[in-house]
Structure 1
Amino acid sequence: MNNVNHVLIQNGTIIDVENGSSFIGTIEVLEGKIRKVYKQGDLLPTGIGVQDAEGKYIIPGLIDMHCHINEGYAPHFVAAGVTSVRNTAGNVTALKRLIHASNDAPTPRVYSADRMIDGSPGQWGPTSFGNFVTDNPEEARKEVERQVKAGAKFVKLYGWIKPDVMEAAVDEAKKYGLEVSCDLLNSKEVTALDAARMGVTWFEHASGFAQEIYKGWNPLVDQSEWSHINWDEPDKEKIKALCEQMLTYNVKLCPTLVLFDQVNLFPEIWKPNNAVIESTYSETGLTKQWESLSQHAQGLKEKNGFIGKFTKEVAKTYFEMGGTVVAGTDTPALMWTFPGMALHRELELFVEIGLSEMEALQAATSKAAQSIGLTDVGSITPGKIADLVILNENPLENIEHTKTIHRVMKGGKVYTQEEILSHIPSDEFINELMKEFMEEWGEVTV
C-alpha cells in the first residue's frame, strides 16, 4: 500500500498494554505517529483516509529483546509484527543501514550493542569484527570507549571474560551511561551474582544463575560429575533465594526460552504454517546453518537443552517477585529460531510458565521498551511512533493469536506480510554490503 500521512484505523479492539485493558476504538495516525486514540462513541475527524479494523485486534509493534539481526532476514521480523529489536552483539558499523533506515522502512528499528567482549581464547575465536578477546582490563576499557564512539547503545560481555576485565568494562561503560549485558551460559569464572555485584544490569538467557547455585558447574565440564543435579525438577528454594539477592541489584532478565525449547523439541520443532516461516526457508544461509546444527541435536540437548526447565523456573520466579523479565529469542542462534516468528513462541512459553496473556504482551511491548529507556515505541499512546500490528483474533483470549496477522503498520505505513517480504534483499546485494563493510572495517584498529 502507498504511504498515507494521515489515516484513521477505525473500530478495532485496541489492546492498551500500559493500562492492561482493551476497548473498541479508533487510532488517528499523522506523519508516522499516533496523534490521538478515540473510544467508541467519540466524535471522529472527517476527510481522512480510513483503514477499517472492525472485528480486528490492535497491539503495539512487538520488540524482540535479544536477537542478532542481519539485513538478509531483517524484513522477516517486521512481517512477523516485530517492529523493533535489541541486537545483543554484532557490529554497529555493519548494521548502520538498518539503524538509520527511514521511519517507515520494512525493517525493524535496531537498538544495538557492538561486538561482544570475551576472555581468551574466545568462544567465537580470536578478535574479529564480531568479538573482542582480551584478558587485559585496560584493553577492555579502550574497547568500551571505541564502542561508545561507534554508536553502541549498550555493552555486551561474554562468558569467558575474566572477573577483573568485567569489572573494568562495567566501570568504563558507567562513565558513558551505558548499561552492560552479559551472557554467562558457558562462564567458567563468573556467576550471575558476581556480575550483579560488579554492576552488570542485563542477564541474557537468565545465565550465570546455575553457576552461582552449583559452584564449579558449567555446561562444558564433565556432566557425569554433576549427575546429582535434577535439571528436570529445579531446586525452587535455591532459585528463589538467589532471585531475592539478584532483585536487590535490580537486574533484568531476558531468558530466551525458545532457544532451549527448539533444541528440546527437535526433531518436532515449533514451526507454524505461515508466509513468514515459508519465506525463511528460502534464506539458504539460515537454513544451512540450522540443518548443520541439527546434525548435532543430541549433543546440543546435552549441552544446552537440559537447562531449559531451570531457566523457566528462574524466569518465573524472578517475574513473580516483581523483577524485570522481557521477551527475546536469540535469533538465529542454535536451531530454527525463525526471525520474527520465534518471538511468538517465546510469548507462548511465557504464558506456559504462568504469565497472563496481557503480561506476556507487555514483556514484548511496553515493559520491553521501558526496560531500555525507549519512550517512542511500545504502546498505543498519542505521541508515540505508529508501529502497530492488526490481528484477526484476540491475543488476550489465546496468546497464540498474535500470529494471526492481518496488517502491520511501521512508522505510519500499512503493509501486508507479502509486501514486507518482497523487500528481502538478494544474496548478491548482501554480499556486496558485506564486502563494503569489510573494506571499511579494515580501516579500523581492532
Structure 2
Amino acid sequence: MCSINRRAVLRSASLTAAAASSSAALGACSGDSGQGASTARVAIANARIFDGEQVLDQHCVLIEGGSIVGITGIAPSDASVVDAAGATLLPGLIDSHVHTSEEGLRDALLFGVTTELEMQGGFDAEGRKAIAGRDDLADVRSAGFSLTAPGGHPSELVPEDGPPGDGADGPPEGESGANPAASEVTTPEEAVRAVRTRVDGGSDFIKFMIEDGHVLGAPDLPMMSDATVRAGVLETRRLGKLAVAHTLTVAATEQALAAGMNGLAHLFIDRPHTREIVEAVVRSGAFVTPCLCLNASIMGRTGAELAADPRVGPRLDPEWLATLNGSLNRYPQGDFDAVLATAGALHAAGVDLLVGTDVSVAWPELGGMAHGASVHHEMQLLVRAGLTPIAALRAATSVPARRFGLTDRGRIVPGARADLVLVGGDPTTNISDSLSIKEVWRRGVRLAR
C-alpha cells in the first residue's frame, strides 16, 4: 500500500537534493573517521556468519575499502580486529517496500537496514547519488511516482493537505520535489509515456496501483483499465525495468499477473488463498512482498509489542514511537491468520517472498510500522507464517538483492559491499535475535552508536 498522497510524498519522502556532508564516525576498530568508505583493513572475527543463504563454517570476514575482501577461519595479523564472539554476522538487511525520507534512511540504518526500496516517493537519480556517498544513512532505490487512475489510490488515505506537518506549498527548502511526473494515467498511450518519463528521470523500477479501495475503507476507487496496465508493463519491461504492482485483493492480484508484473508489492487480504491462485503466482514467476506488518495494521493491529521491546522503543523518536503504536484500521473484519497462511503457502510452493514493511511517515493513522525496526517484525511474522528463520533472513537479504538486480549486496561474499550487521545470539535459529544489534557497517564504515 502506498501510504501517502503526492503532496505528502513530496514533503515526507523526498531527499535533500544536495545532501550536506555529515560525519559518520567510525568505530575504534577502523582506525579512521569521517565520510566515505573505510580504507582500513578490518577483521570481524569469531562470528557465526550467515552469508545471505546459509551459515558458513568460517568465522572471520575481512573488509577493506568498503568491500568484503575475504572470508577466513582466523583473523590475519595485519588487520584491526573486531571480536564478535557469541554474535552472528549478517548481510545488511533490505526493506523491499518503503516510502522514505532522510530521517527514514537514518532510522533504518540504526536497525541494520542498509538498503530501502522506495515504492513511491521523491528520490530521483541525483538525490540517490547524494545518498550513496553518505554512510550515516541507508542506501535507497526508488520507483519515483507510481502509475494510478485519476482520483485513484492513494488519494483516499490522507486529507488533501496531507498528514500533520505537511505543507501546502511543496517541499521545504533544501528538499527535492524529484520526479514530479503526473501519477494519473487514463489510456494505454498515457501509460507508455508515463513509464518513459519515469525511466528518463532515473526510476529504478516502475510501480502500478491496482486498488479498488474496498479493503481500505474506500470502495469503488477509480482504477486503470487492463489495457492501460498491460501497456505500461510492456513498456517497462521493454526498457529493462521491473514492473511491480500494488495488489491487496485477489482480483487485483489476478489483474497484475495477467499484465505480466515481475513482482507483487503486497499480499491479498480479502480472501483466503486457493490452490488456483497460488499456482497462478508460481506460473508467473513473480515475487511477492507480503508486507505482513502493513496487513496487520489495515486490520487494526498495532506495533505496540514491537514498540515495547527494549531493543526498539528507546531508539525511536516520540513521533515514531506513537506511529508504531498506531494502525490504519481500515479493514478490521480481515482474517490475519488467513493472510499468514497465504504467505506460508506461497513460500511452500516456491514463490520468492521478500521482506517489506510499507512504512512511510510518522503519523499514527498510517501506523503500525517504523523504519528499520519493522523489518525485524516482518521477519518474525514470516516465521509465524511457516518460514524457517533462515528463510526469513534470506527474504531480507539475498532474495531481494537477486530479484531487484542488486548484485553488490545481500550476500557476504568477496567483492560485495561491506554492508553488514552484527547481532547478539543466533537469529538463524531464533529470529528475534536479529533485533539484538551490536554493530552496523555501511560500505565498511562502522556506524557510531
What are the within-5 Å matches in structure 2 for residues 237-386 of structure 1?
Answer: 239-262=274-297, 263-266=299-302, 268-274=304-310, 277-282=313-318, 284=319, 299-302=329-332, 306-332=334-360, 334-386=366-418
What are the within-5 Å matches in structure 2 for residues 16-415 of structure 1?
Answer: 16-18=51-53, 20-40=54-74, 44-93=75-124, 96-103=126-133, 105-125=135-155, 129=180, 132-159=183-210, 160-185=223-248, 191-207=252-268, 210=270, 234=272, 239-262=274-297, 263-266=299-302, 268-274=304-310, 277-282=313-318, 284=319, 299-302=329-332, 306-332=334-360, 334-415=366-447
Counterpart residue type for residue 152 of structure 1 = S
Deviations 1:254-297 (A, max 9, x none): 00001122454348553243465434334x4x567678x65xx6
Counterpart residue type for residue 350 of structure 2 = G
Name the TM-score, length of structure 2 as normaliser: 0.77
Distance 1:267 1:22, change over 3 A: closer
> Is the CA contact (8 Å cut-off) linking 1:68 and 1:331 kept in structure 2?
yes
Shift of 1:98: 4.3
Q: For residue 284 of structure 2, give the secondary structure of its aligned residue in structure 1.
A: coil
Unaligned runs of 5+ in 1: 211-230, 419-446
- Total equivalences in the alignment: 376
Partner in structure 2 of residue 9 of structure 1: 44
> Is the CA contact (8 Å cut-off) linking 2:105 and 2:137 kept in structure 1?
yes
Higher percent of residues as helix:
1
Partner in structure 2 of residue 436 of structure 1: none
Q: For residue 196 of structure 2, give the secondary structure of its aligned residue in structure 1.
A: helix
Q: For residue 324 of structure 1, give the secondary structure of its aligned residue in structure 2.
A: coil
Distance 1:351 1:186, change over 3 A: closer
Name the TM-score, length of structure 1 as normaliser: 0.78
Distance 1:289 1:15, change over 3 A: closer
Q: For residue 46 of structure 1, give the secondary structure of its aligned residue in structure 2.
A: coil
Task: Provide the C-alpha distance between the structure 2 equivalents of 1:359 and 1:366, rounded to a whole number of angstroms.
Answer: 10
Deviations 1:132-183 (A, max 9, x none): 1121221111111010011111110112222121011111112201111111
Partner in structure 2 of residue 427 of structure 1: none
Shift of 1:61: 0.5
Q: For residue 142 of structure 1, give the secondary structure of its aligned residue in structure 2.
A: helix
Counterpart residue type for residue 306 of structure 1 = G
Task: Provide the C-alpha distance between the structure 1 equivalents of 2:181 and 2:438, rounded to a whole number of angstroms.
Answer: 37
Partner in structure 2 of residue 421 of structure 1: none
Unaligned runs of 5+ in 2: 1-25, 27-31, 161-178, 211-222
